[in-house]
Amino acid sequence: MLLLPSLPTAAQDTLSVEVGDTVKVKLPKKKDKEKRVYWGTAVGGDLVGLVMKAFGSEWSFMEVMARVNLKDKYFPVLEVGLGEADHEGNDLDYRFKARAPYFRAGMDYNINKKHNGNRLFVGVRYGFSFFNYDLVSPTPLTDPVWQTSHPFNYESLHGSAHWAEIVFGLETRLWKFIRIGWDIRGKFRIAQQTGEVGPPWLIPGFWKNDTTGWGGTFKVLVEL
Amino acid sequence: MNIFIKQFDKVITPSLIGRVKGGSALFLLLFTFLSCDTNNCLLETKVQCVYGFYASARSDDGAFAAGEAISVADTITITAMGINTVLANRLVNQSGVKLPVSYYGDVDSLLFTFNATDGTGYDTLYISKRNIAHLDDPSCPAHMWHNITSVHSTHNLIDTVLVSESNINYDGLENLQIYFRTAQE
């Protein structure tokens, strides 16, 4: 009997050989493996939004993502999320409410040339969201001269926004097919359309409404 | 005999784990810092209708022609009709005026009273408008913006009123041009 300590897992067969026999085993060459284009698919979710929601934050983005690994270098990715906000002004009692989906598509590029499971990413995203939002206040708005009042209650205002993101992140294998990683993102609003009453305080999937924003994810991925 | 070979997954580089941990702490710190609210309320948020005073001119066939900006020598008092509140009191030698606009009225009616040495004259200006509540940020006060849909007036001393900018908002642009009949007419 012979023990062949270098056989791949896939070839766990029973061999009957006599002493003195020669057994040839063909192992996949490293170069052959690296020539593959499709390396797999992974799905995952962002923990930041869940943590923010669990701690009662006035806004959160909860998202899931799916991505394809091409040559362990290119990672086309699709991100879908739900943005929620219930924000009250600092000194006044105006309130902004929104709950809407958002979408991002883009690609990460792994700049770690070693195929050791650790990845250092730079990437880009295009994001968009079509959403409704409320601007309300329990206090009516009073005309100081004519002394007339009207409730400040504007619901289902329509808004939309498009933006671009640049991404920098790290990722590593936690256990077998489970991966963890984080990224930070610079965001640049390309265009927005808002309701006549006023702009949204927050754009789902983007950040607080401004020309630029920041963001990031702390993600857990499962390799399929 | 079964040949069983266990292949271990690739070992995580300790330095990269450290980088992930360190980066995570930095990320959370940055995220918390950037989550802080900032107040971006505009400093100048008066919403007033801006009036400019002009002298009217008439062509030979009697048609209206825009004249030049003038300072009105008469004493002008402007009163909001309906609430009998004086919005501008005894303006003298003014080339224009800024007046508040009703938040919710469909039409503002303003009584212009002209006092001169040779007597007193009156005109009423009617401004039809659409009212739009506006809130820039929940931490900032709300205001009413307006969109002028039409204007008309009596014609004792006022000849014509033109809308030069229909939107009344924070911009402070001249909204209405009031052309007065001049002594030469």
| Under 8 Å between Cβ of B175 and B49 | yes
Asked if B3 and A4 come within 8 Å (Cβ–Cβ), the reply is yes
Predicted local confidence at residue A116, as pLDDT: 85
d(CA A196, CA B106) in angstroms, rounded, equals 18
Pick from A50, A136, A146, A173 the residue to mutate for testing the B interface (most B CBs within 10 Å): A146
Domains of chain A, earliest start first = 40-223 (2.40.160.20)
Min CA distance, B41 vs chain A (Å)?
11
What DSSP string describes A6-58?
T--GGG--B----TT------PPPHHHHHH-SEEEEEEEEEHHHHHHHHTT-S
A85: which residues sit within 8 A by CB, 6+ positions away? A58, A59, A60, A96, A97, A98, A99, A201, A202, A204
Residue A216 DSSP class: E
d(CA A90, CA B18) in angstroms, rounded, equals 39
* pLDDT digits 0-9 by tens, A162-197: 999 999 999 999 998 999 999 999 999 999 999 889
Asked if A14 and B2 come within 8 Å (Cβ–Cβ), the reply is yes
Is the pLDDT score of A150 beyond 90? yes
For the question of whether the overall pTM of this predicted structure is more than 0.80, the answer is no
What DSSP string describes A54-99?
HTT-SEEEEEEEEEEEETTTEEEEEEEEEEEEEEE-SSS--EEEEE
Predicted local confidence at residue A102, as pLDDT: 97
Q: Which residue is associated with the tokens 């009949």?
A: B181
Question: ipTM strictly over 0.90?
Answer: no
Phi–psi pair at A49, nearest 5 degrees = -65, -40
| Under 8 Å between Cβ of B151 and B25 | no
Residue (of A122, A106, A121) closest to A163 by Cα position:
A106
d(CA B153, CA B168) in angstroms, rounded, equals 19
pLDDT in tens, chain B (185 residues): 444 434 444 444 555 556 556 655 665 565 555 555 556 687 777 899 999 999 887 777 777 777 788 888 889 999 999 999 999 999 998 999 999 999 999 999 999 999 988 889 999 999 999 999 999 888 888 999 999 999 999 999 999 999 999 999 988 899 999 999 876 55
Chain B CA closest to residue A218: B24
Residue A131 pairs in a beta bridge with: A159
CA distances from B9 to A43, A115, A135, B20 (A): 20, 12, 53, 19
Predicted local confidence at residue B7, as pLDDT: 43
Q: Pick from B1, B4, B100: which is nearest to A1 by CB?
A: B1
Min CA distance, A134 vs chain B (Å)?
11
The answer to whether A18 faces chain B, any CB pair under 8 Å, is: no
* pLDDT digits 0-9 by tens, B41-86: 877 778 999 999 998 877 777 777 777 888 888 899 999 999 999 9
